[in-house]
Amino acid sequence: MKNIVFAVFSLFVMMPAVMADCNTPVTISYVGNQEPDDNEFLYESEREYLLAKQGYINSGKKNSGDGHAYECDMGKSGGCGRTDVVPMAPGHVFEGQVIDREVQYQCKNPGIVDNRWVVVEDGICHTKGFGDIAVGDCVPGDGGCKKLTDIDCSGYSKTDILGVEFKGVCFEGPLFKCVATKCRGGMTADKDGKCVASAMPVEPTPPTKPEVPVKPIKPVAGKCHPSVCTSELCKACCAKPSTETIWTPSVNKCVCVNGGDFVQEGGAWNCKASNNQLKYECDSLLMAKVASWKTKCADFADVLTDIAALETYCANTPAKDTFLRLYDELKGGVDTMCVGKKVLLIGEAQQKVQKAIGDLRASVADLEVSKWKTEEGKFNTARLASDSIAGVVLGTAGGLITSSVVKKHQVEDGFEDLNCTIGGQTVAGWGDEFTVGIH
C-alpha cells in the first residue's frame, strides 16, 4: 500500500516477476515508508510478525530480520502477483492483528502504488496450475479426480509431505490443498490425506464432494502454530527459528536444519551434534577479529558480554549458519558502539583542547609589554624576581626580547661604573653574567 517510490520505468523491469510462484513467506525488504503493519504483508503466526517488527527496528527500517511474510507485490522476488491467493490458518497476523480463524486472501495491485491483500469470499479456489476450482470439487480428470504428482503440487499446501500421489481439492475458506492418496516408505494415506503406518493397504476412494474439515490447518514444513502442537517436543521445536528446526507432523519429529538431534538437556531443548557427525569449527580468521575487539571494546560491557557468548557458543556444538549470523550481529554492535562512540569521545576531547588553547591565547593577549617599563621608558626594577635573578625587556623585534642577569658581585670592586647596555638600557654591571634571548 505504501510502496510509492517506484518510477513508471520499474513496471517494465518488474513485469517478468509476475510469473513467479507465490509459494512461501519471504524476508521483507522495506521500501520508502513501508511498515510491518501494512496491508500488503501476511504473517503465518504472531511469532513471525514479532520477529519482523523487531527486525524492522534493528535494521533501521530496512528489512524484517528473521521474520517472514507473504508480500503482495508482483515486482519483488518471491512476491505475490495479481491473481495469487494465499490461505492463512488460525493464528495468522494481518495489519498487526492476530486473526483466530482461517481466512483466504488475494493479492490486489491494479497499479504499482496500491499493493494490498483482500479477503476472498467467493467460494472459488483460484489456482494458476489448475484454474478455478469450486469449494468441494477436485481437479477433474479421468472421470474423477486427476492424479497429481509431488511435482504437480510443488508450491501448494499438502496434507502430508510424505505423499507421492495427490488429488487437488478446494476446501471451505476457500482453501486449495493437495490431498495425499499414496505415500512413500510403505505408509498409506488415510481419508484425510495423512500418511500413516499400516500393514494393510488402503485404497483411497475419492468422493465427488470430499468431506470438508471444519478448521483445516495448513501444514507447511518448518512452520507451525500452537494449535497444531499437542506434545512438549512439538512446542519446543516450533519455538525455535525456522532457520534452526523444522517440525514434521507426519512422523512427529523435529529435524535440525544444520544436522544433529533435537534433544533436551538441563530442561532446555537444543540441536546437538550426533557422535558420527563432524563438528563445525568457527572460522579462525573471524574469531581472530573477535579477539581483537576485546581491546577495542574494553570500555563497553555489553559488547564484551556478546563476545564471550559467541566464544562460548563456538566452544560447544556450533552450526555454520548460526555462527555467521551471530558474528554479523556482533560486528554490527562493535561498529556502532565501540567505533562510533570512541570517535565521539575523541571529538569531545579535541573540542576541550581547542577551548583550552583559546583561553590561553586570550590570557597571553592581555599581557602588556609596557608592564616591564616605567612611565619614563626605563626598566621596571619592581618586577625583578629577586636580587639574584633579574629579567629585562629589551624590545619586541620578532618577539619579546629579554635578558636575565645573575648578580655575582654584591661588593663594589671599583669597577662600578662599567656596565653592559642593549638598546640604551643597562642590563648588567661589572662581574655579572647574563643571557639574552627572544621569546
Q: Could you read off the pLDDT of 407-423 as tens digits, one per residue? A: 555 445 566 677 888 87
69 pLDDT above the threshold of 70: yes
Contacts of 368 (CB under 8 A, 6+ apart): none
Distances (CA, A) of 240 to 143, 223, 235: 45, 10, 9
- Residue 117 DSSP SS3: strand
Kindly state the percentage of the chain with pLDDT values over 90. 23
Distances (CA, A) of 269 to 160, 265, 373: 25, 6, 89
Bridge partners, 131 (sequence order): 127
Question: By the 8 A CB rule, do 403 and 427 touch?
Answer: yes
Residue 25 identity (one-letter amino acid)? P
* pLDDT confidence band for 163 (50 / 70 / 90): very high
**Shortest CA distance to 42 belongs to which of 109, 6, 111, 91?**
91
Question: By the 8 A CB rule, do 257 and 263 touch?
Answer: no
218 pLDDT above the threshold of 50: no
56 pLDDT above the threshold of 80: yes
* pLDDT confidence band for 183 (50 / 70 / 90): very high
> For position 58, what pLDDT does the model report?
95
> For position 17, what pLDDT does the model report?
37
* pLDDT confidence band for 61 (50 / 70 / 90): very high
- Can you give the length of the chain in residues? 439
203 pLDDT above the threshold of 70: no
* pLDDT confidence band for 155 (50 / 70 / 90): confident
| H helix count then E strand count, the chain | 7, 26
266 pLDDT above the threshold of 70: yes
Question: By the 8 A CB rule, do 133 and 122 touch?
Answer: no
Cell of 33: 515508508
396 pLDDT above the threshold of 50: no
Q: Which of 68-72, 81-85, 353-357, 392-396 has the lowest mean pLDDT?
A: 392-396
> For position 270, what pLDDT does the model report?
87
pTM for the structure as a whole: 0.29
Q: Could you read off the pLDDT of 108-143 as tens digits, one per residue? A: 875 566 788 888 766 778 788 898 888 889 999 878
93 pLDDT above the threshold of 90: yes
CA distance 239 to 269: 10
CA distance 274 to 349: 55
* pLDDT confidence band for 227 (50 / 70 / 90): low
* pLDDT confidence band for 272 (50 / 70 / 90): confident
* pLDDT, greater one: 264 or 258: 264
Question: By the 8 A CB rule, do 168 and 146 touch?
Answer: yes
390 pLDDT above the threshold of 50: no
Q: Which of 27-31, 296-300, 433-437 has the lowest mean pLDDT?
A: 433-437
What is the rounded average pLDDT for all residues in the chain? 76
Q: Which of 152-161, 193-202, 396-405 has the lowest mean pLDDT?
A: 396-405
> For position 404, what pLDDT does the model report?
59
